[in-house]
Amino acid sequence: MLDIRFICDNPELVKENIRKKFKDAKLPLVDELISLYTEKCAANSRANELRANRNKVSKQIGALMGQGKREEAEEMKKLVSQQAAELAALEEKEAELGQKVLSIQMKIPNIVDESVPVGKDDSENVEVEQFGEKTVPAFEIPYHTDIMQLFDGIDKESAGRVAGEGFYYLMGDIARMHSAVTAYARDFMIDKGFTYCIPPFMMRSNVVTGVMSFEEMDAMMYKIEGEDLYLIGTSEHSMIGKFIDTATNEDKLPLTLTSYSPCFRKEKGAHGIEERGIYRIHQFEKQEMIVICKPEDSMEWFHKMWSYSVELFRSLDIPVRTLECCTGDLADLKVKSYDVEAWSPKQQKYFEVCSCSNLSDAQARRLGIRVKGADGKRYFAHTLNNTVVAPPRMLIALLENNLEFDGEYYSVRIPEALRPYMGGKEVIRAINKYESPKK
């Protein structure tokens, strides 16, 4: 959320930023916001004038009463009464205008970093760098759910009867591998100096609207009926919410935390092949990282955070690349974002597994997350977040990139870094033979 004074002082810059994001429908909001804020300021100025006059007249009434000038005092009381009615109307108007201003203010996009490429949507995102050699095995790679079924590792049919589409049971070695990945990711981030945390899995509406745009909220969040609570779509939201209405001493920054949680998402929309299997589901688990820091340090932390994801995936022998999200693919609160994508030998393309974002002071301004400077002054912190791993997708990448075939049975080589979390196993072998689907 942008500072209202910044918007009023820089309306053309704010409008140009909206155009860069290809959200021209929001352009009228800038002038509407400035008009409402000007009206609110005028109401506030008149209200302050009346309050000051009320205090002045009250003293005069006391003096007149002390002098025995009762009639004059009564006349002044009538004036105070009239002004009190005007003041009450102005205070009501101030509150109403304040809500309208805030509502529009929260819809205007954050100013994107000047380094972000201009583009309409994710098709115009820009590749930054590739890491690791893309594998192209000589044998057929089954679809990821078919791989799991070779190990009796997934049951979508039963989950469908229990919860509907978008859910699954993980079983046996595949379930163990899932848990091993989250445990490894947790320790990986602890070794980077992050504090481990398990957050609440629900949050109140004021936190929801503080951490995300209304568009994201509608597309993602599940509301708890009859409660002011939402299921979290990602733990970064409740982690950032941890610091709502707080002021942290500057010398305590940065705050670096890594969190584990289940995540719940509506996942609206269709995405072709990625709708099959477990690419897009309503419930999954995730390890996250967040940073709260001084504004001048946020870009340095941004680059550290996405590099941690690359390092983790490469430690599990998974080739990855980084993509810079263009202006049209940035959510309204973000100033810069990189996606880390893993290589899929099956599909012969990369797919998103992590998203690293710098939100500057947008979330901090909405949630009141401040820093106490050494000089005693307070200012808004910068917030950042990044996926460490989301095991459904990490699991797909791990299985496909470590798959082996002896001519009869498939097996999965366990990367060395993961073996301590798999009871020392170096490989897991399929229980069932694979039958290639007839074309």
Give per-residue pLDDT as tens, 187-214: 999 999 999 999 999 999 999 999 988 7
Mean of pLDDT values over 314-322: 97
Q: Mean pLDDT of all residues in the chain?
A: 92
299-308 pLDDT, tens digit per residue, is 999 999 999 9
Residue 28 preceded by cis peptide, ω within 30: no
Q: What pLDDT does 74 receive?
A: 67
Q: What is the pLDDT of residue 59?
A: 66
pLDDT at 20 over 80: yes
368, pLDDT greater than 70? yes
Confidence at residue 439, expressed as pLDDT on a 0 to 100 scale? 54
Contact 323, 428 (CB under 8 A): no
Mean pLDDT of the region 359-373: 97
pLDDT-based confidence at residue 270 (cuts at 50, 70, 90): very low
Q: Look at residue 389 in the predicted model and tell me its pLDDT.
A: 95
Q: Which residues pair with residue 411 across a beta bridge?
A: 404, 429
What tokens does 187 get? 């320790």
Could you identify the residue written with the tokens 């970093």?
Answer: 113
CA–CA gap between residue 23 and residue 18 (Å, rounded): 6
How far is residue 90's CA from residue 97's CA, in Å, rounded to a whole number? 10
DSSP state of 110: P
Comparing CA positions, the residue from 136, 183, 132, 148 lying closest to residue 342 is 132
Closest CA to 400 of 151, 145, 133: 145
Write out the H or E segment, with its range, that includes residue 258.
strand 255-264
Nearest to 132 by CA among 426, 424, 415, 407: 415
pLDDT surpassing 60 at residue 320: yes
pLDDT of residue 271: 46
Q: What residue ranges define each of the domains in the chain, with the CATH number in brackets? A: 4-105 (1.10.287.40), 122-429 (3.30.930.10)
- The predicted model gives 234-263 an average pLDDT of 96
The arithmetic mean of pLDDT across residues 214-218, rounded, is 77
Is residue 188 within 8 Å of residue 250, measured between CB atoms?
A: no
Least confident of 66-70, 173-177, 345-349: 66-70
- Cβ neighbours of residue 180 closer than 8 Å, sequence gap 6 or more: 418, 421, 422
Rounded Cα distance between 279 and 271, Å, is 10
